[in-house]
């Protein structure tokens, strides 16, 4: 499961870091599997 804060992710996307943020958020979930 993901333990990141959705509002924080949305805020980061507005900053233009969506691609990097997505990779950073998804990697731990992939490793956990």
Q: Dig out the tokens for 13 from the structure.
A: 């996307």
The model's confidence at residue 24, banded by pLDDT at 50, 70 and 90, is: confident
Answer whether 25's CB lies under 8 Å from 2's CB.
yes
Q: Dig out the tokens for 5 from the structure.
A: 């804060």
pTM over 0.85: no
pLDDT at 22: 75
The model's confidence at residue 9, banded by pLDDT at 50, 70 and 90, is: low
Q: Dig out the tokens for 14 from the structure.
A: 């507005």
Cα three-residue angle 26-22-3, rounded to 5 degrees: 50
The model's confidence at residue 27, banded by pLDDT at 50, 70 and 90, is: confident
Domain ranges of the chain: 1-33
Give the mean model confidence (pLDDT) for residues 7-14. Answer: 61
């Amino acid at each position: 499961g993901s333990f990141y804060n959705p509002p924080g992710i949305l805020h980061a996307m507005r900053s233009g870091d969506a691609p990097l943020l997505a990779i950073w958020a998804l990697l731990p979930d992939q490793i956990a599997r």
